[in-house]
Structure formats: C-alpha cells, structure tokens
Amino acid sequence: MKPAQRMVEGKAALQFAGGAPLPMHPPSPAAPRWGVALALFLLYLVWGSTYLAMRVALEGFPTFRMGALRFLVAGSVLFLIARARGGRLPTAVQWRNSLLVGTLLLAVGNGGVAYAEQTVGSGLAALVVSGMPLWMAFFSGVFGKWPSAGDWAALGLGALGIVLLNLGSDLHGNPAGMFALLLASAAWAFGSLWSRRLSMPAGAMAAAAQMLGGGLVLLGVSVLRGEHFAGPPSARAVGALAYLVVFGSLVAFSAYLYLLARVRPTVASSYAYVNPVVAMLLGAALGGEAMPPVALLATPLILASVAVVLRPRKAVPASQPQAGAPSAAVAVRR
C-alpha cells in the first residue's frame, strides 16, 4: 500500500471512528471568560434589536434584496479586513462548505425571518425563533451528543417562559409567515452544528465566506422572484440596513461564530431566549407593538434558564475525556 493511500485511509478511519464523523476543522483554542461574556452580551442585545431593524429596513427594500445587500456588503468588508490581517484564502472545499452553511444560516435562516416579518410583528418573530435552542438540542442528539440534564432543565425553563410570553400576547401572524419562521429556526440550528463538522476557513474569514455565500443565494432568490425597488428607500430604511450590516452582521454574526467554535451549543444558542424580551421591549417602545403583562412573570423564567446554561461545568480529568470528544492524538492528526 502506498504511503499516500495509507494516509488517506487513516484519516478516513479517524473521521468515522465511533460511527460518526469527527469535526474536520482544527480545534479552537480555549476562550477567555471575558471573550465569551462579551460575545454573549453582543448577541443578547444586538440580535434582539435586529428584528425591529429588519422590519424598518423592509419599508424601503425588497425582502430578499435587503438580505443580499446586507450580507454581500458585510461579507466583502470582513473579507478585506481578514486579508489585510494576513488571513489565508479559503480552499475550494472551504468555499463550498461556506456556501452550504451560509445558505442554511443566512439565506434560509435570516431570509426566512425577513420574509415572515412582512406579515408578522417583530416581537412574535422573535418568540417563534426562540425555539431554536430546542432544534439545536435535537440536532445535537442526531449528531451523537445529547445535552446534559442541566441543559435540558435550562431548555425547559426557557421554553416555559417563551410559552407564557406567547400566550399572554395579542400578537398574530399568518400561517405562511409562521412556517417560514419555524423553517428558519431549524435551518439555523442544523447549519450551526453542521459547520462544526466541516472544513471551514479560519477566524474572520469563516464569517466573511459564509456571508458572501449566503448573500449570493439571497441575490439569486431576489432575481428569480422579480423583486424591484418601488422608489428610493427612505433615510430611515437605509439607516436600519446600515445598522444590520455593521452590528447585526459584522459584529454579532462574528461573535456567534466565535462562540460556536469555543463553547457548547446550548451556550452559543442561549441568546435565542433573551432576544424575544429585547425585541418585545423595543417593539413596544419604538414600533407600537403590544407588550403582554405576563412578561413580568416570563422574563425571570427566561433569565433563570440562561443562568443555568451559563453555569460553570465540572472539569473533566485528563485521563477521562468527555464522551464523544476526540482524543488528543486524533485532534492533532486531523
């Protein structure tokens, strides 16, 4: 057997050890606590505000054209920044993987939310999307690693809080919009977990490549649907789109990918329970949407669920690696 053939077969054996493929990208370094805390804060606050920002941007931009502009501009800026800082160009396989993940996260996930917000209030959109951690838990199990008992307790508390918010609201939406939100949540969760098992670019280049891929798909959907501008967008709509580009994409999406590579999925997805509270507060204060009185009861439950998710975990002795985690030898060789 030739050395090159032995190398390929050896890598294949490692990737499929245990009956499930191991992640193809190198393991990320341990994240400092301040880095995780800052990234979570950005996701909790910024992505909670993007629901209202998208609704405002849709006043002047066609649905999918708005998403295409957002991610193509943000992806191009981040690509140039990454290259200026010495980032390597993605390989052909990494471009393909970035296109697939960008389609799931940004074209289907974010594009689905934008489509739904044509008929669904920003508060209700955030409520439906908040079910994403449950999708994340389901797909984690499909990939071979179910959440711990504590994480399930946190998911239950958060889901109960979201149910209370929904039952106590007078928000409503049409079936097509609700289906788009459910599909968007599932696609986002699956794409997030799948990206951890694919060969992806390093650092900021990963976010840039995914945004460029997702933006191109959204542009194609916009062209196929025959979207066009009814007139020049208002300054208010342009400002909302600029906010989405800078804060929603360049800042928050990069923070999300930073977390996704360094913490367990339940922590990375915990923003989904906080976002509805932020979205409903902003929707009520700035968008004229109703704020249900039961939010006073639901909010503590949601915050408690986040506290459980973010609890410190017991360190696993070096001689006893976590179930499902690759050994040091595997991590070094892949």
Report the candidate in 199, 280, 258 with the shortest Cα–Cα distance to residue 32.
258
- In terms of C-beta distances under 8 Å and separation of at least 24 residues, what long-range contacts does 323-332 make, across chains too? 323/145, 324/18, 324/144, 324/145, 326/22, 326/23, 330/14, 330/17, 330/22, 331/26, 331/27
Residue 145 lies in a domain: yes
CA-only gyration radius of the chain, Å: 20
For residue 7, name the pLDDT band (cuts at 50, 70, 90).
very low
For residue 308, name the pLDDT band (cuts at 50, 70, 90).
low
How many Cβ atoms are within 10 Å of 318's Cβ, its own excluded?
7
Give me the chain's average pLDDT, please: 76
Residue 47 lies in a domain: yes
How many Cβ atoms are within 10 Å of 6's Cβ, its own excluded?
10
For residue 312, name the pLDDT band (cuts at 50, 70, 90).
low
- pLDDT attached to residue 237: 95
- pLDDT attached to residue 8: 41
Residue 8 lies in a domain: no
For residue 275, name the pLDDT band (cuts at 50, 70, 90).
confident
Higher pLDDT, 121 or 186: 186
- pLDDT attached to residue 48: 84
Residue 186 lies in a domain: yes
Would you state the structure tokens that stand for residue 64, as one six-digit string? 């999918």
The 10s digit of each residue's pLDDT in 184-232 is 988 998 998 898 889 999 888 999 999 999 999 999 999 999 998 888 9
Residue 149 lies in a domain: yes
Residue 287 DSSP class: S
- pLDDT attached to residue 316: 43
Question: b/e map of 12-30 (b: 16 or more CB within 10 Å)?
Answer: eebbeeeeeebbbbeeeee
Residue 217 lies in a domain: yes
In the predicted model, what is the mean pLDDT of residues 132-137? 78
Max CA distance (Å), the chain = 71
Residue 48 lies in a domain: yes
In the predicted model, what is the mean pLDDT of residues 112-116? 89
Does 322 score more than 60 pLDDT? no
List the domain range (segments joined by +) for residue 72. 32-308
Nearest-angstrom CA–CA distance, 276 and 162: 8
The 10s digit of each residue's pLDDT in 246-271 is 999 999 988 888 888 888 777 887 78
Does 4 score more than 50 pLDDT? no
Q: How many CA atoms lie within 13 A of 159 on its CB side?
A: 12
Counted domains in the chain: 1
In the predicted model, what is the mean pLDDT of residues 159-168? 65
Does 321 score more than 90 pLDDT? no
- pLDDT attached to residue 79: 96
Q: Which residues are CB-contacts of 277 (< 8 A; sequence separation ≥ 6)?
A: 48, 165, 295, 299, 302
Residue 318 lies in a domain: no
Does 65 score more than 90 pLDDT? yes
Between 20-34, 133-147, 183-197, 230-244, the lowest mean confidence (pLDDT) is in: 20-34
- pLDDT attached to residue 148: 73
Q: How many CA atoms lie within 13 A of 35 on its CB side?
A: 14
Sign (positive or negative) of CA dihedral 51, 52, 58, 61:
negative
> Percentage of residues in the chain with pLDDT exceeding 90?
31
